[in-house]
Amino acid sequence: MRKRVFGRNLGRSYTAKKALTRSLVKAIVGSGDIVTTKAKAKFFLPELERMINLAGKGGVAERRAIYAKLANDRDTTDRLFEIAKTLKAVRGGYFKVVNLPSRRGDRASTVKISWSQKFEKTEKSKKAASKSGKKSETKETKDKSTSAKSLKGRLAKLRKRTAKSKK
């Protein structure tokens, strides 16, 4: 019997639920919308609304509390504070939750969660995004070229070895 059992379990331990909340918050603050199951949405949305209300106060103690919940993720916390400034006049209803068809593999009911308002990125976040984008693009092109060369080189060596062994 579930006498006086409170809260959602989601088949996870306490630390796993904290990590799940943290990752979902980072995802929605970073991208603006996410697709997840209805159970996970009901689990983490109240926590995210509490974080937005904390960030709306804008104090140092509130910032530290959010850092603690997000494992010292500065980018997400700063973005959350920017969003909270724009939502300061709004008392609630920060999100739109749209039901989607259930997932094919396990028939889990899925939802799309997005902000009720559109937010523009500030100059700081635009600069950070452009800098990180440029760095990642150059790294990806370097990785592709070196991995391709090394693969060709390894294949050539392998062909030489097989040709020698046949003789």
Q: Which of 88, 95, 32 is nearest to 58 (CA)?
A: 88
Query: How many other CB atoms are found less than 10 A from the CB of residue 42?
Result: 13
Q: What are phi and psi of 93, to 5 degrees?
A: 70, 50
- Provide the pLDDT for residue 80: 93
pLDDT in tens, the chain (167 residues): 878 888 888 889 999 999 999 999 999 999 989 999 999 999 999 999 999 999 999 899 999 999 999 999 999 999 999 999 998 888 888 999 999 999 999 999 999 999 998 877 665 555 555 665 555 555 555 555 445 567 778 788 888 888 877 76
Select from 3.40.50.1780, 3.90.1030.10, 1.10.287.110, 3.40.50.300 the CATH code of 1-118: 3.90.1030.10
- Provide the pLDDT for residue 70: 92
CA 63 to CA 58: how far, in whole Å?
7
- Provide the pLDDT for residue 89: 85
Two structure tokens written together for 133: 């984008």
Spell out the residues 6+ positions from residue 66 whose beta carbon is closer than 8 angstroms to its own.
Answer: 51, 54, 55, 77, 80, 81
Q: What are the residue ranges spanned by the domains of the chain? A: 1-118, 121-167
113-133 per-residue burial string, b: 16 or more CB within 10 A, e: under 16: bbbeeeeeeeeebeeeeeeee
